[in-house]
A and B are shown apart, each in its own frame.
Chain A
Amino acid sequence: MKDPTELILRRETHSSRARPAIVAAIVISLLAIYGLLESMLRVLGQPPWLIDPLTAAQRIADLPNGISAMLLGVIGAAIFLVGLIFFCNGVLPGRRARHVVPDPRVAAVVDDGVVASALARRARTAAGVTREQVVVVVSARAVQVNVRPTSGISLDETRIQGAVEDEIARMGLDPSPTVTVQLSTMGVIGV
């Protein structure tokens, strides 16, 4: 058996698909409950609510007739889209926006938002600008640092890059992202 820490980390960095599963279960339950209602009405000899199951079967059997082709196509496309959403949720890996921080004792995961705000703080102190002038975007394998300098003060791009890379090295993120620093050509005034 694998190390429990590894299993936990794998589970924490991937979506459990609990929400789409619940949605799918509710959709299928509602369809089944409607069928249940109509067939029970039939058993009890009551008039059908929307359509009698036998009539429905006959209507389905001679389908392109009895309904406009346009409406049929739209209904089909809608059902196909719902199926596609379920299928993609089942098949795609579903990575969550999280990184793993190595630690000898505990299994630690960090949301990308926390990484971004920590990197923004470091970039801001390295560049000597205010909070509003730095925007950091973190994805699985890339970190983009956008800095808008104060008008009239030139900034050293390599210094900011070095500071952010140093911070990432200290975090030891897995997967390790690459850093790009983008200095805006337009400065801001009045900060």
Chain B
Amino acid sequence: MNGTNRSANRILLSLFGLIFMGVGGFLVALAAVPAVGSWWQGWAKPFSDDLVQLAARTQLGSGGSWIWIVVAAVLLALVICMVGWISNQGKGRASTLASYAGSADDDGASGAVSISCAVAEQALKNALMERPDLLSVSVTSFDFRGQTGIRVRVFPRQGVAPHAVARHISGLVESLDQLLGVQTPVLVSIGSGARARFTKAERVR
């Protein structure tokens, strides 16, 4: 649960995949089919000759041509786009769970109440650490479509019934709702990590 733009990921991956497949397939065809080779030479030769002439005509004083500056600028823009794409992955951590602005004619005092995400995170975490059948608990908050959501990831010991864990957390979240007076979307993710695999199953309950 985070702000990663998944459809953009898929569209860009498909697009680059198609481009790579096209180039690779064409190279294989060039190597394997002689007719494709002669067609390509006839088609691409005028372009490369034009390019050589253009580079010669646009010569700058220092020996280079300005078309290389244009090429460099385009490539630099591409690199910047790629860095932007990477930095968009996994963004969206939130810090404020809920905020409420009071006004003087509403409750007699103007001011604002804001509840930090740390309140919910630490309350849930402390409550869950008391269970002996959970090996580790992590609680984080995310911005999800304009509202704050809480993500609870727990790693139970081997053999613990997941629905019991989910029901317990659900009960905790309901009491947290009553405590804070706001309902936020909550995700409970019950996982099995390497640590769960290598520790002993719980024998006695």
> A: which residues have CB within 8 A of B?
4-5, 7-8, 11-12, 14, 16-18, 20-22, 24-26, 28-29, 32-33, 35-36, 39-40, 42-45, 53-54, 57-58, 60-65, 69-70, 72-73, 75-91, 101, 103-111, 113-115, 117-118, 120-121, 131, 167, 170-172
Contact = CB atoms under 8 A, between A and B. Distances in A.
A108 B169 CA distance: 10
Contact of B10 (A35, A85, A90, A114): A90
B48 A61 contact: yes
A107 B13 contact: no
Contacts, number: 284
A86 B64 contact: no
Contacts of A32: 75-76, 78-79, 82
Q: Do most interface residues of chain A lie in helix, strand or loop, or is the interface mixed?
A: helix
Contacts of A120: 159
Contacts of A28: 16, 78, 82
Q: Do most interface residues of chain B lie in helix, strand or loop, or is the interface mixed?
A: helix
B13 A12 contact: no
B149 A8 contact: yes
Interface stretch (B27-35, B96-104, B106-114, B115-123): B27-35
Contacts of B190: 101, 108-111, 114
24 contacts: A8-B187, A16-B4, A18-B90, A32-B82, A35-B71, A35-B72, A62-B45, A64-B37, A70-B31, A72-B31, A76-B23, A76-B30, A79-B27, A90-B17, A101-B190, A105-B173, A106-B187, A108-B187, A108-B189, A109-B189, A111-B192, A114-B196, A118-B162, A121-B158
